[in-house]
Amino acid sequence: MQKYSDAIKKAARKTPHVTGFVPTMGYLHEGHLSLVKTAVKECTKVVVSIFVNPAQFGPNEDFAKYPRDEERDLSLLEEIKGVDCVFIPSADEMYPEGYATYLSVENEMTKVLCGLSRPGHFKGVTTVVAKLINAVKPDKMYLGHKDMQQAVIITKMLRDMNYDTGVVICPTAREKDGLALSSRNSYLSPEERNTAPVLYKSLQMAESMAELGERDASVIVREIKRKLKEEKVEIDYVEVVNPYTLEKTDKISGEALIAAAIYVGKTRLIDNTIIRTND
């Protein structure tokens, strides 16, 4: 099996007439913009999409109140020299009346982590990504490491469906205190914002534990949960999984993805880190 790292290196080679694509749901922040800037450096043409995809929101999720500011988004993109097109389809264009076709990855990777608490979410993600790729026809698509499960699932979908689009996974952009940038951070009250970095700090603690030789995934998960509970946040999940298949692992060996999701107040935040060992 080709490792994602190998596929990413291949996708990152600059060749003539390469179209790069950055799919977003708008309300852009520096994380999105860093993806766009990377695409501009590596590609001859760059397309950015802005579309809040209703198909990936559950009935009790925040689709209606998801932050939107199209004018601001366009202004930010205009400042980046090299963006050739901003694609802003409407919901009616993407899902016209009578729409009934969806594309999903039918294995366990869509049912764990965020897939467990957000059933149907990744079916909406893979469907919209396929539709966007059909419209843009990019050579490379740029995704953020913060949404690693999404990136792994999209990569699987592209491979299974014989798309020629490569996936480039870029580092997570963070605030100075470590909080991963997210459009949903705007929901946080000042007090909640002060609490939110505990998620990243707990992952840093896990990295330190692994560096000191801890290999038992259950011990690392227990310590992350302990640290999170100290801040009285609600834990959705903390898991140690294979970074390529998302299968749960009991012992860290080689590479492992430590992923977590919490609620700070009513705001759901996700983050992850990859542990690499010489075992």
CATH class of the domain at 4-170:
alpha beta
Which pLDDT score, from 0 to 100, does residue 6 have?
Answer: 53
Alpha helices in the chain (DSSP H): 4-12, 30-42, 70-78, 91-94, 114-117, 121-136, 148-160, 190-195, 198-211, 217-230
Mean pLDDT of the chain: 94
Q: Do domains 4-170 and 183-273 have the same CATH topology?
A: no
The b/e string for 189-222 (b: 16+ C-beta within 10 A; e otherwise) is eeebbebbbbbbbbbeebeebbeeeebebeebbe
Query: Degrees (nearest 5) of the Cα angle 256, 198, 231?
Result: 125
Please compute the mean of the pLDDT values over residues 48-53 and round it to a whole number: 98
Which pLDDT score, from 0 to 100, does residue 279 have?
Answer: 78
**Residue 35 pLDDT more than 90?**
yes
pLDDT in tens, 111-164: 999 999 999 999 999 999 999 999 999 999 999 999 999 999 999 999 999 999
Which pLDDT score, from 0 to 100, does residue 3 have?
Answer: 47
**Which three-class secondary structure state does DSSP give residue 38?**
helix
Which pLDDT score, from 0 to 100, does residue 274 have?
Answer: 97
What is the model's pTM? Answer: 0.92
Is residue 32 annotated as part of the catalytic site, yes or no? yes
Q: How confident is residue 12, by pLDDT bands cut at 50, 70 and 90?
A: low
- Indicate the Cα dihedral angle 102, 70, 39, 33, nearest 10°: -120
Please compute the mean of the pLDDT values over residues 191-207 and round it to a whole number: 98
Which pLDDT score, from 0 to 100, does residue 8 have?
Answer: 47
Which pLDDT score, from 0 to 100, does residue 222 have?
Answer: 98
Which pLDDT score, from 0 to 100, does residue 17 have?
Answer: 85
> What is the Cα–Cα distance from 241 to 259, expressed in whole angstroms?
8
3-17, 46-60, 257-271: which has the minimum mean pLDDT? 3-17
The b/e string for 140-178 (b: 16+ C-beta within 10 A; e otherwise) is bbbbbbbbbbbbbbbbbbbeeeebebbbbbbebbbeeeb
Which pLDDT score, from 0 to 100, does residue 131 have?
Answer: 98
**Residue 68 pLDDT more than 50?**
yes
Which pLDDT score, from 0 to 100, does residue 184 have?
Answer: 97
Tokens of 73: 């988004």
Q: Does domain 183-273 have CATH number 3.90.228.20?
A: no
Where are the chain's structural domains?
A: 4-170, 183-273
Catalytic residue among 17, 32, 121, 145: 32
8-12, 152-156, 200-204: which has the minimum mean pLDDT? 8-12
**Residue 209 pLDDT more than 70?**
yes
